[in-house]
Amino acid sequence: MALIRERRQLNLRLPLPEPSECRPRFALPLPPTAAATTALTNNSSSAAISAADLDTLQVLGHGNGGTVYKVRHKRTSTTYALKLVYGDSDPTVRRQIFREMEILRRTDSPYVVRCHAIFEKPSGDIGIVMEYMDSGTLETLLKAHGTFSEPKLAHVARQVLNGLNYLHTHKIIHRDIKPTNLLVNSNMEVKIADFGVSKIMCRTLDACNSYVGTCAYMSPERFDPDTYGGNYNGYASDIWSLGLTLMELYMGHFPFLPPGQRPDWATLMCAICFGEPPSLPDGVSEEFRSFMECCLQKESGKRWTAAQLLTHPFVCKDPSVSVS
């Protein structure tokens, strides 16, 4: 819990935009009335799971979007993670959970956390039943085991890039890639989670210019859209956030600031928008340095795409793990 509290102070959040002008092209997943607990399944589960089927084991995390619990299915004994948003939550939080539901119901990838069911209680509480990632987040691993070696980082990068490539191919921009939103299990599988501020692009050329997410990992063009003409390529912003995340795992601290320094908005603005991108220390491999430079270009048009980065020697050099 101390860990969670400390982390939350570092999360500098900016206000969410008004509901997107892009209306979902399908009915929202919740039934209109709920006389009893109602449950919906998605394509990956064979039977509906409702709140009454689950025993709560412990709290896994608190976030802006709600509380996440470790739960066990009473009949099957399967362990899941349950994200619960209370019925009386403010509209922004409810908007986030609807957005997350909409995306999780669309996605089906080994690199994106799976959603097994969505339910609404008569009280208005909304639950998302997800696969349980038993090693927590990349930040948990960093704090528990220290900084990541290059081969370990390449393994992480390959998986997150596969996830981003899947999302971007499906016109989904995550917009909040950071160590606490990348979940890990004991097989060292890494999956993208937390779609509370993500966006589904309605048309291929939609501009993506709203201020959402955690600003520490924001690309220069998202932090200061005016300077970059107001419109920017959200896919490239996800790549910047990934680069910063990987560098943090290598260096052990947020790369734009010295270890221990708390980020505030003004410091971040100066560092991200007016400073040079952070660089790796001496002694790293050429492949790693080059990979980072492909992610952390200040000019978004110069950043490689997820598909291009999957062909970079840094992530390709370990032949034992295939890139799918």
Can you say which residues are annotated as belonging to the binding site for ATP? 83
Q: What span, in angstroms and rounded, lies between the C-alpha atoms of 35 and 218? A: 43
In this chain, which stretch among 64-72, 218-226, 269-277, 309-317 interacts with ligand ATP, using CB under 6 A? 64-72
CB of 46 to Mg ion, least distance (A): 28
Among residues 42, 61, 234, 295, the one that binds ligand ATP under rule CB under 6 A? 61
For 177, counting Cβ atoms within 10 Å of its Cβ (0-12 exposed, 13-18 middle, 19+ buried), the class is buried
Among candidate residues 155, 138, 154, the one with its CA nearest the CA of residue 146: 138
By rule CB under 6 A, what string of x and - marks binding of each residue 158-187 to ligand ATP? ----------------------xx-x----
Residue closer to ligand ATP, measured from CB, 159 or 181? 181
Task: State yes or no: residue 139 binds Mg ion (CB under 5 A).
Answer: no
Q: Is 187 exposed, middle or buried (0-12, 13-18, 19+ CB in 10 A)?
A: exposed
- For the question of residue 176 being annotated catalytic, the response is yes
Phi-psi region of 93 (alpha: psi -120 to 50; beta: other; left: phi over 0): alpha
CB 232, min distance to Mg ion, A: 22
CB 205 within 8 A of CB 212: no
Q: Which of 156, 294 has the CB closer to ligand ATP?
A: 156
Of 63 and 263, the one with the shorter C-beta distance to ligand ATP is 63
Query: Which token pair is 320?
Result: 């034992």
**71 or 182: CB nearest Mg ion:** 182
Q: Find the binder of ligand ATP among 40, 54, 68, 268 (CB under 6 A).
A: 68
Q: What share of the chain is helix, strand, coil (3-state, %, to 5)?
A: 35, 15, 45
Does 82 bind ligand ATP (CB under 6 A)? Our answer is no
Residue stretches of the annotated binding site: 83
From CA 186, how far away is CA 134, in angstroms rounded? Answer: 6
> Could you tell me the strand order of the sheet in which 38-41 lies?
38-41, 115-120, 126-131, 79-85, 66-73, 54-63
Q: What residue 60 binds from Mg ion, ligand ATP, none (CB within 5 to 8 A, per partner kind)? A: ligand ATP
Q: Write out the binding residues for Mg ion, residues 176-215 only, by CB under 5 A.
A: 181, 194
Residue 61 phi/psi, 5-degree rounding, is -175, 155
Which of the following is catalytic: 90, 108, 125, 176? 176
63 part of the interface to Mg ion, by CB under 5 A? yes
Span interacting with ligand ATP, options 62-70, 156-164, 257-265, 313-321, rule CB under 6 A = 62-70
CA atoms within 13 A on the CB side of 269: 7
What angle do helix axes 2-10 and 138-145 make, rounded to 10 degrees?
A: 120
The tokens for 233 are 């390529």
Max CA pair span of the chain: 63
The residue within the footprint of ligand ATP, chosen from 137, 165, 219, 241 (CB under 6 A), is 137
Selected from 196, 234, 243, 255, the binder of ligand ATP by CB under 6 A is 196
User: Site residues (CB under 6 A) for ligand ATP?
Assistant: 60-61, 63-66, 68, 81, 83, 113, 130-133, 136-137, 180-181, 183, 193-194, 196
| Active-site residue set | 176
Chain residues binding Mg ion by CB under 5 A are 63, 181, 194
